[in-house]
Structure 1
């Protein structure tokens, strides 16, 4: 082991920790006061580095390059803070009373919009910034040069931490912020203008994220992938450190950055005759740390225990059986879908799109099973979709199993994964449950991505096609039958005593325990059921496309599932079906309509969140109930008038 190189990696870890802390501190501050899980926080980081690049190119040259460069970094962070304040006033202020998941959906829409805005303004190419004036050299580190700018970054983190401590403990505004984290309602009762306090906090958090991006300009090129990369790392740090804890964010940033640096420094080593590649662990080590912390200390290293948010909401209305008219309508929809292969002369693309929609419907319905009736918000459901897909592909190609048998056994592979992960997940709640599901999902993704000899690695697996007797439209009809039967089975489970017990645990854990329901066991079983049907969706997908890649287990796939469920509505059983169909049809047509389809799609999502806070299906049910109530009232009034006459 090269001792000098290892020491350099440790210093790199300290420099990386400063940047991670700036982003995570802003996210933690925003969550602590507004209780919004801001998925768009990584976009502020990305805007910071892009705006800094443009300002440096204009102000950081010539005789005043030093002043212009450092002034550009500060100005970029201030501009990002102003953009954050504008976003809070225009968008987020209108959804504070919505559920956490709808807030997450709205901020995800902002990610799409901001990403395409950056693409339109700066283009798709990576932009490499100038070196920092005065810090372009290096120091001698045991005979090896080490960049001076990294030493500057090492100092930035503790300096910002100290300034934030002074701001939050030695100013009246800081006292109000800390009071808001404890009891927002009491703060409002004392006459404090919460709206402008929230705006100030959001602007400060966005400014910190922008500063974190700006100071990375000499080290990292500005690119369009920085938003999701930054928000993933920031979420992990905030959860590991404890939601709302600024010191915890710094400790977590140090811990994760140094562990990653150690893995890089160790490289490949032989332990007991076996070569171990520690460098490959950098893809998953932060998720392993988060999973371990959440398992043994669910509220984070320096956080405080929180009540389970899913049990604090009022009990939802009981599920209602379908009316005869609704059953006829659904039979008509299935009949129309069954007729699509016959109509290929008029609609050649319709069967392909319909098959994709059907698979997405099954995936969204399996996720809704634990999100709606179960009250467990999963951010890693793609793990079971991917396990089902890879399970089918490996059983078919490596084990040489017949395609129908591989399709039937693949959901069991996903179910085993859900059985293992669910045991840990059901012991948490709220944001911590969500982030633990994400951690397990990323661990599975890392294994699939790096196990080249078994899963094909980043190339995936190809040549996974249905049997010859299922070629053409036959596989479409198989998909239609499997999806319809799966939805009916999931619906039957929810109306059975098990489904009633599951919803009872969601509405009130204490009351459910008091009447003898083992809530954790019921939730664990529900987790496994959802994993099995999610795996079935993945197995159907791999045989429909003939290949599978690690993208099937990515965070983006989990986000797609969340968007589908929330668009349709969590409170209704039709929600995931309507949401999945709407999401896929919109995405398909919008992607073909414009280069900036993400912004248009994000705008549509944002509009739907604003107009239909209960989801499309939930809004339709409310409208139907309102109309039925109005008709009943009219009939009663007419009957009363007839009696009086």
Structure 2
């Protein structure tokens, strides 16, 4: 019993830092409506700056002064980021704001390595809390007990700040109705800056307080941001008390999961988040909001099919690309095949986002399932490569069918977070089911057969499948099904009134996107000759989002351009510089600021507008009449 009590106290201590970071993210989202992916980066910066101030400048500030000073320094940096970057894109689509904060995260990851080096750093022990306290015969670090008390104290301070001060009243009012607050003469710019600074301060303080417990390293940001998203969603967006309760719940699940459910310990928190989202989409303590009508910030202009000249131009481009083996070596062909594969992956997510209005944060799940599908069929069942390519992606389709059934019941950020939860569940299964997936060692030796083994042959295969996949998805966009899906995206009530079953249509689109994502994963497994749990990871899902947003989510073909630019640039930068993330992150930010509609979307603004194809309008009218 004593051991379990100590384990419970350890969970409470971990909950303190997690609550600080989650409350900061919840405050920022509640007012600015920015899903701040860089919040984990500020947490990491807080830890690094605190390490420097408490270890190398301890004589000047002392340990606790260094902790507070580190949080204030990072908060000031956060305020500058808000004024210099985020103010410029508040009116851009919200997904582009997510993209900008992702670019900032990439930059910070390289900056900390540049300033502090790649090695883990071990911070000083907290003065006055270096020993342990005996609890029922078990030793509990006294610093853990300090954190257990500190968490509720911060909760009380935040409650007072938001309930008993004028600033807090304005923040709560802005959370409910920003336009009304602006009409009352409140300077929204400085209100947003102060809110962002407070949120960053809490994140940095959470990171700084961790240095006596954990080593400081440059992967802290991605590790914490996933858990923080889970906490915020479970507790309810904008609810500080909900973030506290959810932080305790998640930390205790992490503490006891390895003891009670060792086989599914990594999955537990995501299972809980999935259940909460399905039963109560707005979180345990959040407030129900009106359902989102479309992807946040998405306003797609009427699309038109390609003209005959444009079709010929596309064919000519594919023919020119097919001639690459005559000009490039094996490395160029390998890079070309990888880019073609990611064109399929990005196009599948783009179909779901642009046509369906559904922004998935876990699309890598179906990419990875397709990869594992061909690996298991080829290695264990001994099926030929053609059969594996046909059947392997069906595992992605099956996963999309299962998860999509629940996901399409939600909308907006709740839909996105549920897809993230499902993706992390699949990743956890792949990581822990060692007997089947090989766990972290992966499945090796997934090589293509002799007819497709040469770099040129595999490149041609990947290019051909990519071209066919893009054509198939484009046909789906301008089919009666595509029009029904777009009607559901734009006006659920009107589409329901003419007899369109919106949820069934969206579920079908989810399955289609998952199938094509699985196809990309299947080809990727043959390209690399192996499959690992990383093929299901959140970083790959974010890559897909970046490709779509860079190309232009409000376009039909933006994903193709976005995938080519992002993947080619990232591969080239890795070969040219040790600071590829810094350069790539800066490039992403420049694109977001200078081209808020994406590369293709911006180019389209310089082209003369044409009305939608009349035949397409006839198809839409016919579908509506049939539905009636």
With the length of structure 2 as denominator, give the TM-score of the two structures. Answer: 0.95
| 2:10 aligned partner | 12
| 2:485 aligned partner | 502
Give the conservation status (yes or no) of the 8 Å contact 1:5–1:265: no
Give the conservation status (yes or no) of the 8 Å contact 1:383–1:445: yes
Distance 1:18 1:471 in 2: 53
Are 1:450 and 2:444 counterparts?
no
Q: Write the mapping of 1:174-213 to structure 2, written as runs, cut at 5 A.
A: 174-213=168-207
Give the conservation status (yes or no) of the 8 Å contact 1:106–1:609: yes
| 1:140 aligned partner | 134
Q: Deviations over 1:296-317 (max 9, x none)?
A: 1100000011223343868632
Q: Deviations over 1:257-281 (max 9, x none)?
A: 1122222343xxxxxxxxxxx2343
Equivalent position SS for 1:349: helix
Say which of 503, 511, 534 aligns to 2:494: 511
- What is the CA distance between 1:117 and its match in structure 2? 1.0
Give the conservation status (yes or no) of the 8 Å contact 1:49–1:213: yes
| 1:223 aligned partner | 217
Are 1:375 and 2:363 counterparts?
no
Give the conservation status (yes or no) of the 8 Å contact 2:38–2:105: yes
| 2:113 aligned partner | 119
| 2:153 aligned partner | 159
Equivalent position SS for 1:606: helix
| 2:244 aligned partner | 250
| 2:562 aligned partner | 579
Are 1:420 and 2:398 counterparts?
no
Equivalent position SS for 1:39: coil
Q: Deviations over 1:472-522 (max 9, x none)?
A: 122222222211111111111111100000000001111111111100000
Q: 1:314 to 1:121 in 2, by over 3 A?
A: closer
| 1:329 aligned partner | 313
Give the conservation status (yes or no) of the 8 Å contact 2:266–2:428: yes
Equivalent position SS for 2:200: helix
Q: 1:313 to 1:28 in 2, by over 3 A?
A: closer
Give the conservation status (yes or no) of the 8 Å contact 1:386–1:553: yes
- What is the CA distance between 1:359 and its match in structure 2? 0.2
- What is the CA distance between 1:379 and its match in structure 2? 0.4
- What is the CA distance between 1:323 and its match in structure 2? 1.9
Equivalent position SS for 2:185: coil
Q: Deviations over 1:370-396 (max 9, x none)?
A: 100000000000000000000000000
Equivalent position SS for 1:608: helix
Distance 1:129 1:280 in 2: 33
- What is the CA distance between 1:470 and its match in structure 2? 1.9
| 1:271 aligned partner | none
Are 1:293 and 2:287 counterparts?
no
Are 1:26 and 2:9 counterparts?
no
| 1:643 aligned partner | none
Distance 2:99 2:300 in 1: 21
Distance 2:24 2:100 in 1: 19
Are 1:386 and 2:344 counterparts?
no
Distance 1:214 1:546 in 2: 42
Equivalent position SS for 2:242: helix
- What is the CA distance between 1:146 and its match in structure 2? 1.2
Equivalent position SS for 1:145: strand
| 1:319 aligned partner | 303
Distance 1:141 1:600 in 2: 51
| 1:560 aligned partner | 543
Give the conservation status (yes or no) of the 8 Å contact 1:368–1:570: yes
Give the conservation status (yes or no) of the 8 Å contact 1:464–1:542: yes
Are 1:238 and 2:198 counterparts?
no
- What is the CA distance between 1:343 and its match in structure 2? 2.2
| 1:341 aligned partner | 325
With the length of structure 1 as denominator, give the TM-score of the two structures. Answer: 0.93
- List 4+ stretches of structure 1 deviating above 6 A: none
- What is the CA distance between 1:533 and its match in structure 2? 0.6
- What is the CA distance between 1:216 and its match in structure 2? 0.7
Give the conservation status (yes or no) of the 8 Å contact 2:106–2:582: yes
Q: Deviations over 1:308-354 (max 9, x none)?
A: 3343868632221112222122111111111111223xx55322211
Say which of 607, 611, 620 aligns to 2:603: 620
| Stretch deviating more after TM superposition (476-485 or 420-429) | 476-485
Say which of 120, 124, 128 aligns to 1:130: 124
Alignment: residue pair count: 609
Q: Where does structure 2 lack aligned partners over 5 or more consecutive residues?
A: 612-628
Q: Where does structure 1 lack aligned partners over 5 or more consecutive residues?
A: 267-277, 630-645
Say which of 56, 59, 63 aligns to 1:58: 56
Give the conservation status (yes or no) of the 8 Å contact 2:95–2:297: no
| 2:414 aligned partner | 432
Equivalent position SS for 1:136: coil
Give the conservation status (yes or no) of the 8 Å contact 1:112–1:601: yes
Equivalent position SS for 1:140: strand
Distance 2:237 2:464 in 1: 45
Distance 1:541 1:406 in 2: 13
- What is the CA distance between 1:295 and its match in structure 2? 0.7
Are 1:308 and 2:291 counterparts?
yes
**CA RMSD of superposed structures (Å):** 1.4
Distance 1:599 1:395 in 2: 40
| 1:269 aligned partner | none
Give the conservation status (yes or no) of the 8 Å contact 1:59–1:69: no
Q: 1:313 to 1:451 in 2, by over 3 A?
A: closer
Distance 2:453 2:141 in 1: 60
Give the conservation status (yes or no) of the 8 Å contact 1:6–1:265: no
Give the conservation status (yes or no) of the 8 Å contact 1:31–1:38: yes
Distance 2:567 2:259 in 1: 44
Distance 1:488 1:265 in 2: 50
Give the conservation status (yes or no) of the 8 Å contact 2:7–2:256: yes
Equivalent position SS for 2:355: coil
Give the conservation status (yes or no) of the 8 Å contact 2:92–2:297: no
Give the conservation status (yes or no) of the 8 Å contact 1:236–1:290: yes
- What is the CA distance between 1:573 and its match in structure 2? 1.5
Give the conservation status (yes or no) of the 8 Å contact 1:310–1:376: no
Distance 1:326 1:612 in 2: 24
Are 1:104 and 2:86 counterparts?
no
